[in-house]
Amino acid sequence: MKENPISFQLKLNPDDFLPATDDEKQSLVVMRESVSFWKDGLRRLRKNKVAMVSLWVIIIVMFFSFIVPIFYPYSYETQVKGANSLAPFEYSIEEQARRDAGEFVFPHVLGTDKMGRDYAIRVMVGSRISLTVGLVATAIILVIGSVYGSIAAFFGGWIDLVMMRIVDIIYTVPDILLIVLLSFALKAPLAELAALPGFGWINVVGTNLISIFIVFALLYWVGMARMVRSQILILKESEYVTAARALGAKSGRIIKKHLLTNCIGTLIVTTTLQIPSSIFTESFLSFLGLGVAVPLPSLGSLASEAINGLNTYPHLLFIPALLISLIILSFNLLGDGLRDAFDPKMKN
Amino acid sequence: MLKYIVKRIGLAIVTIWAVATLTYFLINMVPGGPFLSEKAVSPQALAALEAKYGLDKPLWEQYVTYMTDALHGDFGDSLKQRGRTVTSIIATKFPVSAKLGGTAVIVSLLVGVPLGCAAAMNRGKALDNIISVVATCGIAVPSFVICTVLMYFLGVHLNLLPTFGLTSWKHYIMPVISLAFYPTAYIMRLMRSSMLDVLGQDYMRTARAKGLSQKVSIFKHALRNAILPVVTYVGPMLAYTLTGSFVVEKIFTIPGLGGEFIGSITTRDYTVIMGTTIFLAALMVVMNVVVDIVYKIIDPRIKLK
Amino acid sequence: MSEYLVDIKNERLSFFTPAGEVKALNDVSIHLNQGEVLGIVGESGSGKSVTAYSLMGLTAHPGKLIGGTIEFNGHQIHEMSEQEFRKIRGNEVSIIFQDPMTSLNPVFTIGNQIEEVILLHTDKDKKQAHERAVELLTLVGINEPEKRLKQYPHELSGGMRQRVMIAIALACEPKLLIADEPTTALDVTIQAQILELMMELKDKLGMAIIMITHDLGIVASMCEKIAVMYGGRIIEYGTTDEIFYEPKHEYTKGLLKSIPRLDAEEHERLVPIEGTPIDLLNPPKGCPFAPRCESCMKICLREMPPVTTFGDIHYTQCWMNQKAQMEGGATNE
């Protein structure tokens, strides 16, 4: 057989023009690996350095708040005699004497406050309180808000109208007023409740802390409720839900398969961003003197107490102030990272 | 339009009434009263005081009386500050807070909007990163931290600025920064994300295809669309900021409405609590209407209903 | 300088995404005379819009021209700066986008958006620009133009908005109009009206049109030449008659089999092209269409087919034609 001129250049031979098999064709198609929603999100999150650093900061802060105080040689309420208002790593006269005698005295890493309490442990316990308030309050807000919001969205009509009016009204009442009044109002009944058998734990947690949780639960779910409601309303109208309904899917399946999976990203993000906002509010309340009861510290109350001695002992203010900003910042950045990773709709 | 106005006024009255009623019964349900903390008061004197202010009558009767008076514009006398009416207290304290808050809102808009835009237009570049970091840090710092840090460095340490009162423009600097800090950061973030959203819209591609310069397409076509979320945020924020921040007023010793309000709650000055709450609620409602109207002006698609 | 109005030679364009280089255009060559209508046909992602956008410097962010030359009306497009582009956009070359619902800015009146482009590119003052806008709306068949100019986009129907988009595009009497799927988002009856209007205006104003579409019906009725794109390449190029009656590429043949025809025999069925378009992030070594091709040969999987030409302008890139030529050559001996 005579060869065509171009065959020389490309070194063709007649076999090349035989039909290719399906396998050969398939081997050519390089499909991008398909990944699940969670896997894809986690991969994107792991790639986000800022979010990962924030996550580590949160883990470290949690370690110091929840684990370290258990082993710490000082307690947040014990007043060390003669050790008032020490600078960091300074020792009281008595402690110095013990040191001179060759005894090991654990240093006051951050000094002491004016009542002679070790400041490092107070800051740690303070951030424990702040974190607890942030996490527990957010959990309460999440539950109440999403239940309320989804009920309003599902039933619609006048039920929705009335429920959302209530939200508007709660939104309009100055929150400080409600907080102050509620914390006064709750004190007596909580104390009574604590006296009953089986409710002793209330005293352990502290009536103030519980009233803060109740206040959060009563007030701050409104934002979450609005968010969940609007999210569900959008999803309800979306074409794939209509399509699922047209295909005869049951309500339960639509809720589980479509509404929940599409809501969960937004819900995770909103929840993560609610935590710093709860911590923010708690610190503000403690600053006003409406937060946790003395001697229990929170970061806000520590800062508040330190203001009067600002000129002489600025570190007493700056340490809790910095720590609270760091915690809030980390949660915010983690929330942003989660949004980028899990909620492509909200991503820019 | 007329229907809208009537509907909004009706809704406003209902909201304010609901807030007032809720507040009224709430403060009266809480144990304690305005005169209980004054230990020197004898039972006879207490009874006389309560009779004077009508506190001995049944609660619903007090409520009806209060509401009727309030409808006539009479919010009663302060229970604690003898001889002063609630109206006169609000009239003297509100302008102080409003001036401060108004300045802060203007500052936050003037700083937040352009920087947010700049970040969006330089997405992914150094400027965007810097602005985003600053904004994220900005929303993470509580106002009392900013107040005290400013106070310590500018006021006490360097002695550059006066630390209390509001008598000269210098006195305004630190409180205004403290008040404007959070909203500025928030507006920056809001503006950035909404601008990014608008820049991706089809009509921005049309503007480019027409041959418009980047400046014209941003300032004319993008800004007006992107500012809408900021308007929604600024409305209620303005109401809160104008009525004063307790923290800022306490730390910088400013005689404003925010401090007055917290003070009245802790001393159980019922009439002042009621007066300021109604005032704040009314301001909120007005601001929401203003936001609706501004929205309508900016975006012709919105129908007022 | 080129004799053509549009002369694209061996254009290569890539999007540099975080996941890697997406080769959106490979060796794309197109030329177009004044007043001619060219149809670019292909699936989503085949590169048809990217080709047209690059002509106006509207390539989206991570995209970059990495080879070839583009000439338009005496301009060296491939060397132009953003500032130079601004002078020709909306003036010498205009574009109509797919979705008229979102392509107009919702917060400005129709009048404002039409007059804007007139004020930008001509010396007309506000009053003259307004007069011109009225003229344009009449031209595109909108009645009560004075009233419409004061309205906002949301007050107009989809077809009406597309007419407004056309008015904006024609405001400065461009030499070239790019229509990026101009009727995809419209109702069928409105589609016909808009296409008719475009042809009418073309005859009136004498501009060239590049019609981007995936609808072969549209190109058949409107275009003089057709470029069929697949996987960032022009795999077949020719006059409308050549493409429709003597298709040379397997993909073109497939496309033609997949459209309904009135003269078809009753038992004839539509034949879809199986499979999905290729991933331009990992393009195959050989012919991009090979994995979906019914007559795929071993060589197709290894080597990109060379260009085979038929007649003046008709060409294709397909090994089947090489094979035919080779066998033809063998039997001729």
Q: What is the DSSP letter of C155?
A: G
pLDDT digits 0-9 by tens, A210-232:
777 777 777 788 888 888 888 88
The span from the CA of A151 to the CA of A154, in Å, is 5
Q: Which of B123, B194, B203 to mutate to test the interface with C (most CBs of C within 10 A)?
A: B203
Interchain contact, C301 vs A26, CB within 8 Å: no
Percent above pLDDT 90 for chain B: 21
Q: Which residues pair with C297 in a beta bridge?
A: A19
- Position A33 scores a pLDDT of 59
Interchain contact, A4 vs C330, CB within 8 Å: yes
Residues in B 56-115 with any Cβ partner in A closer than 8 A:
none
Interchain contact, B137 vs A325, CB within 8 Å: yes
Interchain contact, C330 vs A1, CB within 8 Å: yes
Proportion of chain B in helix, strand, coil states, percent, rounded to 5: 75, 0, 25
User: What is the SS3 string spanning A6-60?
Assistant: HHHHHCCCHHHHCECCHHHHHHHCCCCCCCCHHHHHHHHHHHCHHHHHHHHHHHH
- Which chains share 3+ C-beta pairs under 8 angstroms with A? B, C
pLDDT digits 0-9 by tens, C289-330:
888 888 888 888 888 888 888 888 888 888 888 777 777 654
Q: Using 50, 70 and 90 to split pLDDT, how confident is the model at A57?
A: very high
pLDDT at C264 over 70: no
Touching check for B124 and chain C: CB below 8 Å?
Answer: no
Helix, coil or strand: residue C69: strand
Q: Using 50, 70 and 90 to split pLDDT, how confident is the model at C100?
A: confident
Other beta carbons less than 10 A from residue B182's beta carbon: 22
- Which chains share 3+ C-beta pairs under 8 angstroms with C? A, B
Interchain contact, B142 vs A283, CB within 8 Å: yes
Q: Using 50, 70 and 90 to split pLDDT, how confident is the model at C227?
A: very high
A:C CB pairs within 8 Å: 62
- Which chains share 3+ C-beta pairs under 8 angstroms with B? A, C
Other beta carbons less than 10 A from residue C157's beta carbon: 13
What is the torsional sign of CA B275, B277, B280, B281? negative
Interchain contact, B211 vs C85, CB within 8 Å: yes
pLDDT digits 0-9 by tens, A287-322:
777 777 667 788 888 888 887 777 778 888 888 888
The span from the CA of A302 to the CA of A114, in Å, is 12
Higher pLDDT pick, C155 / A344:
C155
pLDDT at A116 over 90: no
Interchain contact, A303 vs B137, CB within 8 Å: no
Tell me the ipTM for this assembly: 0.83
Higher pLDDT pick, A49 / B111:
B111
Interchain contact, B30 vs A336, CB within 8 Å: no
**What dihedral do alpha carbons A192, A197, A203, A204 form, nearest 10°?**
-170
- Position B119 scores a pLDDT of 92
Interchain contact, B300 vs C154, CB within 8 Å: yes
Touching check for A32 and chain C: CB below 8 Å?
Answer: yes
- Position B140 scores a pLDDT of 83
Q: Which residues pair with A347 in a beta bridge?
A: none
Average pLDDT, chain C: 86
What pTM was computed for the model?
Answer: 0.82
**Distance, in angstroms, between A173 CA and closest chain B CA?**
6
Which of B277, B282, B279 shows the shortest CA–CA distance to B23?
A: B277
Q: Which of A179, A287, A290 to mutate to test the interface with B (most CBs of B within 10 A)?
A: A287
| Chain B residues touching A336 at Cβ < 8 A | 136
Touching check for A38 and chain B: CB below 8 Å?
Answer: no
pLDDT digits 0-9 by tens, A155-187:
778 888 888 888 887 877 777 777 777 777 777
Interchain contact, C297 vs A18, CB within 8 Å: yes
B:C CB pairs within 8 Å: 69
| Chain C residues touching A17 at Cβ < 8 A | 297-299, 319, 323, 326
- Position C331 scores a pLDDT of 41
pLDDT digits 0-9 by tens, A127-142:
888 888 888 888 888 8
User: Which of A161-170, A326-335, B225-234, C25-34 is predicted with the least confidence, judged by mean pLDDT?
Assistant: A161-170
Touching check for A34 and chain C: CB below 8 Å?
Answer: no
pLDDT at A5 over 60: no
Q: Which of C290, C297, C319 sits opposite A28 (nearest CB)?
A: C290
Higher pLDDT pick, B91 / C262:
B91
Mean pLDDT of C115-132: 92
Higher pLDDT pick, B29 / A69:
A69
Q: Using 50, 70 and 90 to split pLDDT, how confident is the model at C333?
A: very low
**Tokens standing for residue C14:** 């890539």
What are the CA-CA distances from residue B221 to residues B190, C114, C160 (Å)?
A: 18, 13, 21
Q: Are B143 and A285 in contact (CB under 8 A)?
A: no
- Position A7 scores a pLDDT of 43
AA identity, residue C291: P
Q: Which of B32, B142, B284 sits opposite A184 (nearest CB)?
A: B32
pLDDT at B180 over 70: yes
Interchain contact, A310 vs B151, CB within 8 Å: yes
Q: Report phi then psi at C38, rounded to 5.
A: -110, 135
- Position A294 scores a pLDDT of 67
The span from the CA of B256 to the CA of B248, in Å, is 10
Q: Are C96 and C166 in contact (CB under 8 A)?
A: yes
What are the CA-CA distances from residue B126 to residues A348, B39, B122, B136, B196 (Å)?
A: 17, 63, 8, 15, 16
pLDDT digits 0-9 by tens, A8-25:
455 567 677 777 777 766
Interchain contact, C105 vs B211, CB within 8 Å: no
pLDDT at C161 over 50: yes
Touching check for C80 and chain B: CB below 8 Å?
Answer: no
- Position A94 scores a pLDDT of 79
pLDDT at C177 over 90: yes
- Position B37 scores a pLDDT of 58
Q: Are C89 and B211 in contact (CB under 8 A)?
A: yes
The span from the CA of A17 to the CA of B292, in Å, is 71
pLDDT at A348 over 60: no
Helices (H), ranges, C89-230: 100-103, 110-121, 126-139, 145-149, 158-170, 188-205, 216-222
Q: Chain centroid to CA A50: how far?
A: 16
Residues in C 125-184 with any Cβ partner in B closer than 8 A:
152, 154, 165, 168
Q: Which of A174, A185, A348 sits opposite B197 (nearest CB)?
A: A348
